Structure 1
């Protein structure tokens, strides 16, 4: 089984049809063990809220999608444990602390981060973090 850290840009695509949704859904297959910082819940909730504000989701659907998300098997890790490392990564590599949490977890867990966040991928793909980050189409 391949262990991967997934970020909110991937998780939201499991439920909302968007570009790269089919690729993101491939990570729900049994051969992947999914990891994420507990921040993923807040980021997914915020993404659903944004879609509601843009009139892409009604409140009832947004709440249902959040409940559906709770059924996915993900090994959650407390953000508190990784925040100092995330801050260091943010300072050194110009990523947000939020993204740094996913990167810190990937580093500490010895696996890769899968993202559909183009900005994060671009920030990491040419530097010392390139070995940690896969674009969602780059199935490991």
Structure 2
């Protein structure tokens, strides 16, 4: 069964200074299960990688070398994300003080009844509050 992976988790697979241990456990699962992502996922990940390159965390050459690997990730793109933006996603964002982008990952997990993989503390807490299972099943002190 697939799961929803947000940009923070995806970035941790590629950026050296992110939470590598948790992210690597999730990446191992990904290879067997696949991920489901909202339509904006590729733009958000690409933007964050570009920002990392501009700040000197990675080089532009490293960024370009990551693109083929990112394109090969076994993902399902959810095309219903936009339809929920003005209703469920906005409500989740308002109630849990999330960005619309982060709320979209949570809305997707709720709607499709999937687990959520995130390293974002606020999104993690909102998922727990709404009863969404998390991947990996981290203890609260891991966040």
**Normalization by structure 2: what TM-score?**
0.82
Is the contact between residue 37 and residue 76 of structure 1 (CA under 8 Å) also seen in structure 2? yes
Is 1:55 equivalent to 2:95 in the alignment? no
Is the contact between residue 106 and residue 127 of structure 2 (CA under 8 Å) also seen in structure 1? no
Give ranges in structure 1 of 5+ residues lacking alignment.
Answer: none
1:24-103 equivalences under 5 Å are 24-29=23-28, 30-78=31-79, 79-84=81-86, 85-103=88-106
**Match of residue 118 from structure 2:** 115
Moved more, 90-99 or 5-14: 90-99
Is the contact between residue 90 and residue 96 of structure 1 (CA under 8 Å) also seen in structure 2? yes
2:108 alignment partner, one of 105, 108, 123? 105
More strand by percentage: 1
Is the contact between residue 11 and residue 18 of structure 2 (CA under 8 Å) also seen in structure 1? no
Is the contact between residue 26 and residue 117 of structure 2 (CA under 8 Å) also seen in structure 1? no
Q: What count of residue pairs does the alignment treat as equivalent? A: 135
